[in-house]
Structure 1
Amino acid sequence: MAEEKFSIWAYSPSIPAAAIFAVLFAGTTGFHGFQAFKKRSLFFIPFIIGGIFEAVGYVGRIIAHNNQTSIGIYIMQTLLLLVAPALYAASVYMTLGRIMLHTRGEHLSPIKRTLLTKIFVIGDVFSFLVQSGGGGLMAQEKSQNLGKNIVLIGLVLQILFFGLFIVTSLLFHVRLQKNPTAQSVDAPWKKYMFSLYFASILILIRSLFRVAEFQGGHDGPLMKKEVYLYIFDSVLMLGVSVVFNVVHPGNLIGSRKVMQDSMPLA
């Protein structure tokens, strides 16, 4: 009896579904590029790169439909879709720091603004690297279990950092609301905080899904049916991107605005 070959894909990737999300992510990311350029929001560059990763990842799934034995294509689309939310998260973390700067409310945060950015972004980069390494290993049968475990470690780290970030954001929000600064009174900072919460919750749900997916392994129900990826990853990450198109932080805290507000009065 012939030995059964290791199957990279548990299903045949859908071209229409991948094409729809490739176009949607390309559109929202292109708009982010325009918004960041117009508002001089350089801190949003990681977010834009994450959106490019998402769009290219779905293009990879289109290509994979007729190339289901290609390990290179499988690794490419897996890694891009796996790590893109970590790049989204980096800009989300930096946005909170800039809200603190704009409202002059850094003293109300349980973590100093400068430390906050360093702690969360460094943790996010580490999670990014761990997930990248594990994702590449999962394409090989002999290293699939090791790759799965490494990806799980990266995802759990991302969830822990996001949990701490949400707690930090909530404490800052409550304290600033109770003890508003002069700069926060006329600034619509709450709108931007709620956009952070919305994006953070979506990324957190997506990360929990990915943990369950990789925990189940290649033969698990979540990896065997493509629809779960689109419901619990694609739609959620598209929601993150769109919410920041609608409530773009650069409208309040673009680099030019921050520089103007930071100039001491004579």
Structure 2
Amino acid sequence: MSEHGDFVFYHYTPNLFAAVLFTLLFGASTGYHAFQLVRTRTWSFIPLLIGGIFQIMGYIGRILSHYDTESLGPYIMQTLLLLVAPALFAASIYMILGRLIALLDGEKHSLIRLRWLTKIFVAGDIFSFTLQAGGGGMMAQGADGMKNGERLVLVGLFVQIIFFGFFFLASVVFHRRINRNPTGVSLSLANSAFSFKTSWIGLLYALYASSVAILIRSIFRTIEYIQGNSGYLLKNEIWLYLFDAVLMLAVMVIFNWVYPAAVLQERRPVRSREGYECEDNSTEMA
């Protein structure tokens, strides 16, 4: 346990096994994401890939802290990178909904016009990321910046919760509306899907699951920062792994399994005299 003024880096010695385990698990998922991204040229998933790299580096920071709990560098490394990585996940996730709505010819069912949908959510995510990263940077200055940094991080987390909550609502509303009044494209794609994970319905449920995981994690982090450095959550390492590591790994694995390119890229609907048909057309997905 190291103290800097009234601020304590750790109330425990970080568990080595857990840190190594999640370094390896995030490494495996991130490596597979890199393969999927390059193979399908799904450039919109670059933020998620970078977020995975941040997770790996963050848990490496915890490994280093296991051997030296008084070192500021590893502490800031794990604090900052694990804090902001989900905002990068969110950036990629936000881009999926707009592309899916466009693919299904379902703009009339969307809460927000397509030209604004992705822009609004990504702008909110950038704002949240900037606040959290700025707060983390202030905390890196030492004891004098810890309190102000924590407050700025807290604001960033509230912004993340608000935008992700609205994103989840927008996804549910669109899903309900297109189920009640399906488009020709949505019916054609649903009928042509080879499996759940290659269907637009499967992709929507992946959005739901990942959104809920990030929301729960953000609420956990918010409570953690409200409690402060001497709070119960920061004194017990298990909660970091249960409500952050496990949930964020789940987000990455979900999109390893239900990869957006399988829905948004490989089977594009084309109009014919008989209606909508699907053709295999593997092209770049921006």
Which residue, out of 189, 194, 197, partners 2:200?
A: 189
Checking the alignment, whether the CA contact within 8 Å between 1:130 and 1:151 is kept in structure 2 is yes
More helix by share: 1
**Residue identity in the other structure for 1:159:** I
Q: 1:178 to 1:9 in 2, by over 3 A?
A: same
Which residue, out of 141, 154, 157, partners 1:155?
A: 157
**Residue identity in the other structure for 2:166:** L
Q: 1:87 to 1:4 in 2, by over 3 A?
A: closer
2:215 — aligned with what? 204
Checking the alignment, whether the CA contact within 8 Å between 2:4 and 2:143 is kept in structure 1 is no
Q: Map of 1:78-157 to 2, 5 A cutoff?
A: 78-139=79-140, 140-157=142-159
User: How far apart, CA to CA, are the structure 2 residues paired with 1:206 and 1:7?
Assistant: 23
More strand by share: 2
The reply to whether residue 65 of structure 1 matches residue 88 of structure 2 is: no
User: How far apart, CA to CA, are the structure 1 residues paired with 2:256 and 2:126?
Assistant: 24
Higher relative contact order (CA 8 A, sep 6+): 1
SS at 2:230's partner residue? coil
The reply to whether residue 213 of structure 1 matches residue 224 of structure 2 is: yes
Per-residue CA shift, 1:78-97, capped at 9, x if unaligned? 11100000010111110111
TM-score in terms of structure 1 length: 0.92
Checking the alignment, whether the CA contact within 8 Å between 2:185 and 2:269 is kept in structure 1 is no
SS at 1:10's partner residue? coil
Range that drifts further, 107-116 or 219-228: 107-116
Checking the alignment, whether the CA contact within 8 Å between 2:132 and 2:152 is kept in structure 1 is yes
User: How far apart, CA to CA, are the structure 2 residues paired with 1:228 and 1:234?
Assistant: 9
Shift of 1:56: 1.1
The reply to whether residue 169 of structure 1 matches residue 153 of structure 2 is: no
The reply to whether residue 249 of structure 1 matches residue 250 of structure 2 is: no
Q: 1:4 to 1:205 in 2, by over 3 A?
A: closer
Checking the alignment, whether the CA contact within 8 Å between 1:10 and 1:218 is kept in structure 2 is no
Q: 1:14 to 1:177 in 2, by over 3 A?
A: same
The runs of 5 or more residues in structure 2 that have no matched partner are 190-198, 274-286
Q: 1:127 to 1:262 in 2, by over 3 A?
A: farther
Shift of 1:264: 11
TM-score in terms of structure 2 length: 0.86
User: How far apart, CA to CA, are the structure 1 residues paired with 2:21 and 2:4?
Assistant: 34
**Residue identity in the other structure for 2:232:** P
Q: 1:4 to 1:80 in 2, by over 3 A?
A: closer
Per-residue CA shift, 1:98-123, capped at 9, x if unaligned? 11121111221010122111000011
- Residue identity over aligned pairs, in percent, reads 48
**Residue identity in the other structure for 1:147:** G
User: How far apart, CA to CA, are the structure 2 residues paired with 1:165 and 1:171?
Assistant: 10
